[in-house]
C-alpha cells in the first residue's frame, strides 16, 4: 500500500506554497486530495510522480503567476447593459 504523502510545501505545477487539503480518502489514510490556492491545480497524493512531484512535473504543463494573471478570459465578461 502506498503511504499517503504528507502535504507538500509546494504546488507541483506553479511552485506556490499555499497548498490545502480538499478531501481525505473514505478508507482512512490511503490518500488525500490537495489543491494549490493560486493556480487551483488539484491532485491526489497517490498519483504518479509526474503529476505530484515538483521535480518530475512536466515543463510544458507548468504555470507561472504571470500565466495566471494574463490568461485569456473565455468567454470575455460583456459590458453591463444600460438600465
Partner 1 sequence: MPYDDLRSFLDTLEKEGQLLRIPDEVLPEPDIAAAANAAGRIGEGAPALWFDRVKGFTDARIAMNVHGSWRNHALALGMPKETSPREQVEEFARRWDAFPVPPERRADAPWQENTVTGGDVDLFAVLPLFRLNDGDGGFYLDKAAVVSRDPADPDHFGKQNLGTYRMEVIGRDRLALQPVPVHDIAQHLRTAEERGEDLPVAITLGNDPVIPIVAGMPLRYDQSEYEMAGALRGAPMPIATAPHTGLDVPWGAEVVIEGVVESRVRQIEGPFGEFTGHYSGGRRMPVIRIERISYRSRPVFESLYLGMPWTECDYLVGPNTSVPLLKQLRAEFPEVRAVNAMYTHGLLVIISTAKRYGGFAKAVGMRAMTTPHGLGYVSQVILVDEDVDPFDLPQVMWAQSAKVNPREDVLVLPNLSVVELAPASQPAGVTSKMIIDATTPVAPDVRGNFGTPVKDLPETAAWAARLRTLLATR
Q: Where do contacts with partner 1 occur on this chain (CB under 8 A)?
A: 13, 22-23, 25-27, 30-31, 33, 35, 39-44, 46-48, 50-51, 58, 60-61, 63, 67-68, 71-75, 77-81
Minimal distance, residue 68 CB to partner 1, in Å: 5
Rank residues 17 and 43 by Cβ distance to partner 1 and give the closer one: 43
* DSSP 8-state secondary structure symbol assigned to residue 71: P
Closest by CA position to 32, among listed 3, 74, 65, 59: 3
Neighbours of 35 (CB within 10 A): 17
CA–CA dist 19, 58 (Å, integer): 19
Cβ-based nearer residue to partner 1, 17 or 36: 36
Amino acid at each position: 500500500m502506498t503511504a499517503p504523502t504528507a502535504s507538500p510545501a509546494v504546488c507541483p505545477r506553479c511552485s506556490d506554497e499555499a497548498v490545502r487539503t480538499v478531501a481525505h480518502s473514505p478508507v482512512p489514510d490511503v490518500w488525500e486530495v490537495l489543491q494549490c490556492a493560486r493556480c487551483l491545480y488539484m491532485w491526489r497524493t497517490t498519483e504518479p510522480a509526474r503529476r505530484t512531484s515538483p521535480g518530475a512535473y512536466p515543463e510544458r504543463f507548468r504555470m507561472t503567476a504571470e500565466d495566471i494573471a494574463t490568461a485569456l478570459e473565455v468567454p470575455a465578461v460583456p459590458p453591463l447593459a444600460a438600465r
